[in-house]
Structure 1
Amino acid sequence: MTTPRPALGTSLREQLWSPVQNSTLWLGWWLHGLLSADDVIDAFTEVQGPAHTLLVDVASGDPFDGEFAGRPTSLVDMLRAVRAVTADAPVSVSDRPLVGLVLAGPGDVPALPAGSRGAAAVAAAGAGITVADADPEVLHVLVPQLLDRSIVLWTWYRTEGRVPALAVYSPGDADRLLTEATEQAAGLIESDGLLPARHRAPRMAVGALSDYFGLPGLPVGVSPRAAKLMARADVVASIIEVTRTSEAGASLDPRILPLSRAVRTARTTAVDHAMRELLR
């Protein structure tokens, strides 16, 4: 089976905010028995689109012995597959969470085994959901691709080998990085003469984009510290977006793009923290 290539040229907006962040939490809440299957299916359709299909990348290793080959699949199949591979995975605060968020962007390679097809797919798409396995040397990753305005194709990759450890940030550390990024970004956007007149009211422009980045919501019970981190990341992402869409935007890339790393760090830290808090 030929695996579709992930969409190239992922926009900065998609790198700064991906619905995969929220979908990861909904999936994790379901795996831990806090939601029904209907709840998580409703959340996925609201967050990412009304129709979903699953494709297993057999070139990276098929953990399902061809079960999904050559037939239409759905979110139900994807949930069943996630449940199957995580069934015997260790579950404790010190273990890798059953699901996690993996992001990539300028200067940031995904935290997946180097050279794997899954790592290449996330690098191209910008985001994916990691799924744990009973074998600590195996990690699965689901990478979404929007085929049209209504169909999301999830490609399942199996990776094997040493998984790079996530950068260890506490929510407080990640929040500090975001605070520093916010101060830098706000200074850029509010500098006299930096932006054209239509962008001289950044609070209004940023507020409108924050509404975009912040929708839809999170499952009930997400750690307040994690939710705060994601909300702060939304604001910084919005500031970056407003700045880059101005006439001065392209010339500011060397100063603006490094701020996106703080956004990605905040999001992965928030999801990881939220998943571990479920076990405390």
Structure 2
Amino acid sequence: MDPIAQLFTPVQHAAVWLGAFIHHRVAYDDMHDALFTLATSHRFNGGDGPGLAEMCKLVRRASSGAADRLPPGHPLVQLVLTGPGDIPPVAAGTEAARTVTATGAGALVVADANPAVDHVFVPVPEHPVDLAAWDPDDGPATGWNWRHFRVGTTPTPPAAVGAGDADHLLTTATDRAAALVAQAGGRTTRAWGGPDPRLTVGRLSDYYDYPGLPPHTPARTLKLLARADRVTAIIHTTVIALNDHSFDGELYQLARPIRLARQAAVNYALAEFARTPTG
């Protein structure tokens, strides 16, 4: 399994853009353009034609009555990220839960007017992607087939930690990542065959933020994701430079807190979109 995929997924950007659209913060065309920088195509439930518009209509229709029953600040769309050993916060034993686990790329959970129902949208990549070798300058790495599942609600909320907890998780992850690089020592620089790999961290951080987030994204979300991108870039640099799996154990230990921090940052933004009136 690609270690970088456990630390980062472009689905986080899709969640913020779709949430901004659903909460009337951005126009459909802007959201459409952003999502097509993340994936070459967007099919829906295996259909042959373009599926993004169809999916957005379903999300709007499913969530249209949910806002009336949900408390203020409860987002209509939430991000779920899982990895090895995680139990997805989706109704257990369902095909939705199995698909979320199998893809490992994240999913969107959309509220329904019926409090006993959730809608789960999973972007299944058209083919495997090696994120460690991906360069956004080359364009999107693959297309997505969005799978839709209508499931019963689960008492486990997608937002497993809050934004404050995410801050602490990232501080700990940054310290552990720095120790990992120090452990690699001179091996990293020699394997890289060029300048000190620390010089590439800023460039990689920019890559993880591609294509950026919509206007009105809360500053707290931007800061948390920037910190997550930086620690992921440090790990990315080490993995590419060494080109082996000697640090996989440490990487997987780092992956869960970084995923939780990303999920918390995104869901904070989605909650703010729901809480703050437009206009």
Normalised by the size of structure 1, how large is the TM-score? 0.83
Give the superposition deviation at 1:255. Answer: 2.0
Correspondence for 2:150: 158
Do structure 1's residue 226 and structure 2's residue 221 form an aligned pair? yes
Task: Report the residue type matching 1:251 in the other structure.
Answer: S
* Cα distance in 2 between the residues matched to 1:168 and 1:80: 28
Which structure has more relative contact order (CA 8 Å, sep 6+)? It is 2
More helix by share: 2
- Kept in 1: contact 2:73–2:272 (CA 8 A): no
Do structure 1's residue 106 and structure 2's residue 99 form an aligned pair? no
* Cα distance in 2 between the residues matched to 1:203 and 1:124: 33
What do residues 222-274 of structure 1 show as CA deviations (whole Å, max 9, x unaligned)?
Answer: 11111111111111112222233344852222222111111111111011111
Give the superposition deviation at 1:128. Answer: 1.2
* Cα distance in 2 between the residues matched to 1:94 and 1:38: 25
For residue 146 of structure 2, give the secondary structure of its aligned residue in structure 1.
Answer: strand
Change in Cα spacing, 1:55 to 1:225, as seen in structure 2 (3 Å) is same
Correspondence for 2:174: 182
Give the superposition deviation at 1:161. Answer: 4.3
* Cα distance in 2 between the residues matched to 1:85 and 1:267: 25
Structure 1 stretch displaced more, 182-191 or 146-155: 146-155
For residue 261 of structure 1, give the secondary structure of its aligned residue in structure 2.
Answer: helix
What do residues 159-196 of structure 1 show as CA deviations (whole Å, max 9, x unaligned)?
Answer: 21424224553322211111111011111102335535
- Kept in 1: contact 2:159–2:263 (CA 8 A): no
Structure 2: gaps (5+ residues): 128-140
Change in Cα spacing, 1:256 to 1:15, as seen in structure 2 (3 Å) is closer
Correspondence for 1:30: 21
Change in Cα spacing, 1:161 to 1:79, as seen in structure 2 (3 Å) is closer
- Kept in 1: contact 2:79–2:107 (CA 8 A): yes
Match among 94, 118, 129 for residue 116 of structure 1 = 94
- Kept in 2: contact 1:25–1:271 (CA 8 A): yes
Match among 189, 197, 210 for residue 190 of structure 2 = 197
Give the superposition deviation at 1:144. Answer: 1.2
Structure 1 stretch displaced more, 29-38 or 185-194: 185-194
Give the superposition deviation at 1:139. Answer: 1.2
Superposed counterparts of 1:190-269, under 5 Å: 190-191=182-183, 192-193=185-186, 195=188, 197-199=190-192, 201-247=196-242, 249-269=244-264
- Kept in 2: contact 1:137–1:163 (CA 8 A): no
Change in Cα spacing, 1:71 to 1:211, as seen in structure 2 (3 Å) is closer
**What percent of counterpart residues are identical?**
38
Task: Report the residue type matching 2:25 in the other structure.
Answer: L
Structure 1: gaps (5+ residues): 1-8, 57-69
Structure 1 stretch displaced more, 243-252 or 132-141: 243-252
Match among 45, 57, 63 for residue 55 of structure 1 = 45
Task: Report the residue type matching 1:257 in the other structure.
Answer: Y
Give the superposition deviation at 1:134. Answer: 1.5
- Kept in 2: contact 1:188–1:194 (CA 8 A): no
Give the superposition deviation at 1:133. Answer: 0.9
